[in-house]
Amino acid sequence: MRARVVSLVVCTCLAGCAPLPGTDLELPQPGSVRLWTVAWIATVVIDDPEIGDAGDRARLEEALTLSLMGYIAETRYFTRVNRLPGPVAPGEYVLRFSFTRYRVDVDAYAGAVTSDVSAELVIEDSERKALSLASESRTDSYPSDGQMAESTRQNAARSRTALVEAVLAAAVRGLPQ
């Protein structure tokens, strides 16, 4: 697996707050299915009540949307990946990601970081009719020095990537033939 990381924006710890999860994703292996059409990405929605600050939530949603655009383009499932708003033509797909849990917890005493993410992807046609839905949750713990060190961010990115990869692959497989 390639070690490069798609990273457009990394959210870091705000003074006096628990750290916000990052938005990095590792580069994917190209998808085995090629749909030969365009995908449009809607802005990600994060509904996690643990992220109470509207500004933090908006920054995470924007950063994750950009990371997902890069990631999905690299999978090569689609011929091109655009961002909504835009003119979605017949035969093109709209991808809507939402996250009901998007957390990272640092336990300095145990020397561990836990990433807890739950995602749903709805793929729609140009008329906004849902064609496929996939969802998955993933909780991973990994060692940490109590800080958001580079290795911790890489482990969290690996965890998020595995979740996104699973949801995307399942949603693509669920599309009508």
pLDDT at 28: 57
Greatest distance between any 2 Cα atoms in the chain = 54
pTM for the full predicted model:
0.78
Q: Is the confidence at residue 126, as pLDDT, over 70? A: yes
Residue 54: give its domain's CATH number.
3.40.50
Q: Tokens at residue 7, please?
A: 């990273």
Choice among 89-103, 119-133, 150-164 with the minimum mean pLDDT: 150-164
Q: Taking 90 as the threshold, does the pLDDT of residue 31 lie above it?
A: no
Poorest-pLDDT segment among 57-66, 102-111, 124-133: 102-111
Domains in the chain, number = 1
* Stated length of the chain: 177
What pLDDT shows up at residue 27? Answer: 57
157 — pLDDT class (breaks 50, 70, 90) = confident
Q: Which domain holds residue 46?
A: 5-173
Q: Which helix (H) or strand (E) holds 67?
A: helix 54-75
